Amino acid sequence: MKGRFINWLDERTGVVDFYHKQIAYELPEGVSYWHMFSGLTIGCITLQIISGFYMLWYFVPDPTLAHQSIRAMCRLSFTGMLMRNIHRWSATFGAAFVILHALHVLSRRAFRSPRELNWWSGMALGIIFVLFLITGVILPWDWRSYWELIIWADWANLLPGIGGFLKDNIIMQFSLGRNFAVHIMFLPALLFTVLGFHIIVMRRLGLSERV
């Protein structure tokens, strides 16, 4: 019965061929334990999606209710504290895995031609991760969140040319609702777009040789 269903589905979608070409292919030579950090990063992103979707039903993006809604989720929900910790630690480990993955790429000099686009898209993913961390820390809107907002606004002010403009807009135009929308809508859309491009380019060019 199972085999019949798979054959029926394969005739209409080509899912078996896709599986053999894109998932069950043999690993190329030169693969080491260092390559696992890219997969671990995707695993952390998956945990972020699951735990973030759970918390989405409890969080209230209002300055007077944001912190209370998180505390209520942790106290009244059976898995609230667990999901919050999963979200927090998967973000932390995900950022660490991105850094380790980048160091591995640098050690293999995999940023050289013809892999420049892979390198730059990877750097963009690192920046997106940082933006996720910043906007996520701000969401509870307690004293730490306010302190974090001011600190990162001061860091933005250090950028030559546009620093003052960025700081003024971050401080003057900030609202918790906008920060929430950026965290759950804009950044995820940007992440999946850049990550998809990153994976496509990597699959197109393959792994770089050892140097």
CATH of the domain at 157: 1.20.810.10
Amino acid, res. 116:
E
pLDDT at 211 over 60: no
pLDDT tens per residue, range 66-104: 999 999 999 998 899 999 999 999 999 999 999 999 999
Contact between 133 and 151 under an 8 Å Cβ cutoff? The reply is no
Torsion of CA 189, 193, 196, 199, to 10 degrees: -120
pLDDT at 205 over 70: yes
d(CA 155, CA 175): 19
Average pLDDT over residues 38-53: 95
Average pLDDT over residues 12-40: 79
| Residue that the structure tokens 């894109």 belong to | 22
Work out the percent of the chain whose per-residue pLDDT is above 90: 55
Q: What is the mean pLDDT of the chain?
A: 89
- 159 assigned to some structural domain: yes
Burial class (CB in 10 A: 0-12, 13-18, 19+), 115: buried
Domain span holding position 184: 33-205
Average pLDDT over residues 19-47: 82
Q: Look up the pTM and report it.
A: 0.85
d(CA 80, CA 74): 4
Show Cβ contacts of residue 179 under 8 Å, excluding neighbours closer than 6 positions. Answer: 61, 135, 138, 139
Confidence (pLDDT) at 101: 93
| Residue that the structure tokens 């509870």 belong to | 140
- 6 assigned to some structural domain: no
Average pLDDT over residues 161-179: 87
- At 24 the three-state DSSP class reads coil
Smallest Cα–Cα separation from 16: which of 25, 26, 7?
7
- 129 assigned to some structural domain: yes
pLDDT at 195 over 80: yes
pLDDT at 113 over 80: yes
Q: Report how far Cα 160 is from the mean position of its chain's Cα atoms.
A: 27
- 172 assigned to some structural domain: yes
Confidence (pLDDT) at 110: 84
Confidence (pLDDT) at 66: 94
Contact between 152 and 170 under an 8 Å Cβ cutoff? The reply is yes
pLDDT at 27 over 70: no
* Total structural domains within the chain: 1
- 62 assigned to some structural domain: yes
- 37 assigned to some structural domain: yes
- 18 assigned to some structural domain: no
Confidence (pLDDT) at 21: 74
d(CA 150, CA 170): 9
pLDDT at 53 over 70: yes
Average pLDDT over residues 109-135: 92
- 21 assigned to some structural domain: no
